[in-house]
Homo-oligomer: A and B are copies of this chain.
Amino acid sequence: MKQARHCFISESGELQARWQEAFPQALGLRLADPAPAGAGPTLLWLRLPQGRPVAPLLAELRRRLGNLPCIVLSDLPDDDQALACFAAAARAYCNTHAAPAYLRQVAEVVAQGGLWIGESLMNRLVDATSRVEVKSPSESGNSWAALLSPREQEVARAIAEGASNKEIARGLGITERTVKLHVGAVLEKLGVRDRLQVALIVSGVRQSQSA
């Protein structure tokens, strides 16, 4: 892998001491500066100004400097801001005041096509997902799961991913015949006539027709 050319972008254009420590040859730019002459940067670091929407900022950066991977640094990181950054195709989100070693690792990850989310947000995502899976049999509002046996729920979820009977069979280590049995049970219990409706119900688009 080639050496990345780092470019730090902040309101004032100054380089934080730790940034310079992490990447001695990094370039510093102000938000309004034009693209630097010569060999362009290959990796952008954007220090987020306080209280501004991130999407337009990132969009403009891309327009001016090319569609480069961009790492967002926030003085006061919070999960919602992080999500906004990733929605705007940021590649990483971390604290402005992170240690140089940390910054270097983030850079390496991003340079190799990785995404740096940070622990707080990651935990939230994992929590959300596991909670859904754990508590969905009991309630979760739409109650389709409550009508189905555990095995049938697995089948229903696979259907919602678009899996064929054969794929589900391989996935669960059973025969296609048995999958058809479960599918049939799911159809009857949810009161629908085909798997497409099952997919819509599991995806939350429709409600089950059953009592």
Contacts and interface: CB of A to CB of B under 8 A. Distances in A.
A122 B126 contact: no
A160 B115 CA distance: 25
Contact of A56 (B89, B158, B205): B158
A192 B162 CA distance: 10
A64 interface: no
A174 to B, nearest CB: 11
A29 to B, nearest CB: 16
A4 interface: no
Interface string A176-211: 000000000000000011111101100111000000
A64 to B, nearest CB: 13
B113 A114 contact: no
A172 B171 CA distance: 39
Interface residue SS majority, chain A: helix
Nearest to A128: B89
Interface in A105-141: 105-106, 108-109, 112-119, 122-123, 125-126, 129-130, 133
A47 interface: no
Contacts of A170: 49-52
Contact of A67 (B84, B87, B126): B126
B171 A130 contact: no
B113 A122 contact: yes
Given A53-B168, A56-B157, A112-B119, 12 more contacts: A51-B167, A51-B170, A53-B171, A55-B161, A56-B154, A56-B171, A105-B109, A109-B116, A114-B116, A114-B118, A115-B115, A162-B192
